[in-house]
Amino acid sequence: MGKIIFWIFFISTIIGGCSFIPDDDDKPVYHVIISPSFRSLWDDKGEMFQECVSMENNTRFTFDETYVNKVSLASKDIFFSLDTEPTQAKVFQLGSVDLFFITQKANPIKVISKKELRNIFIGRMTSWQALKNAIEMQSSFQGDIHLYIYAQYDEVSQFLSSQLKLGDFQTGKARLISNQLSMREAIQNDINGLGILFSKDEVSGDIHKLEINFDGEDEFHIPIIVQLTEEADIVQMQYIGCLQESLSR
């Protein structure tokens, strides 16, 4: 009789104990992907995104950190990107990121106008010496402007095209760069280089932030967007709220 009681107690303890062991298979799973242009921002603020995930212990977030196209969105629950017009349904703006134009510190040109920037992109202005700031300073600095842009950050290109009214912008003679680290390295090694960053932490050392005279117009702020494929549930709204609060600090 004692043995029977022991085995009943032992088995019930195991069964009861197992009921408290969380099973990952029973947790809701949210599949998340990030756009190529958002990837660089993710690298800069990755801890914040992971901290917001850990707030909900009964949920699993599976992050796909590979470079993907928007066609993959249909099979995912959450999609992070930078976007110029967050007007679609099920889209939330988390914050915004500033776009910086950079040169090498040794480059004496420190300010250009928005119009001059546009002329550089469309190939109408190709020499540093032709810029108004160079003429005002009577600078002897010469050389062709080497424009560096991102090869795969479509959202950044679309944003610039919209803000500078570039139309169907063609890369032309622009030099293509894969990511922000490569952009920084390229400008460090090219005194004639003009590049783009969208992370303040990268503007340091031998890199100088080129001031843009906007003549009262808005500066370049790209919205940070999260897009959902279904109506947001409470977990997703908690996650979005956490990110919005973190990005506003």
Kindly list the domain boundaries of the chain, sorted by start residue.
Answer: 24-96+222-247, 100-219
Cα 214 from Cα 63, distance rounded (Å): 38
CB burial class (10 A; 0-12, 13-18, 19+) of residue 180? buried
pLDDT at 8: 40
- What pLDDT is stored for residue 67 in this prediction? 47
Residue 19, pLDDT score: 34
Q: What is the pLDDT of residue 220?
A: 85
Query: What pLDDT sits at residue 6?
Result: 38
Domain spanning 24-96+222-247: CATH superfamily: Periplasmic binding protein-like II (3.40.190.10)
Strands (E), the chain: 29-34, 60-64, 78-82, 91-98, 100-104, 111-113, 146-150, 175-177, 193-197, 207-213, 221-228
On the question of a common fold for 24-96+222-247 and 100-219, the answer reads yes
Q: What are phi and psi of 206, to 5 degrees?
A: -85, 5
Helix (H, G, I), strand (E, B) or coil at 178: coil
Chunked mean pLDDT (size 10), the chain, 249 residues: 44 38 62 76 70 71 60 63 66 85 92 91 89 78 89 78 78 81 92 87 81 80 83 83 82
Q: What is the pLDDT of residue 17?
A: 39
> Which pLDDT score is estimated for 21?
37
CATH number of the structural domain 100-219: 3.40.190.10
> For 35-65, how does the pLDDT look when each residue is reduced to its tens digit (9 = 90+)?
777 776 776 666 777 778 776 567 777 777 5
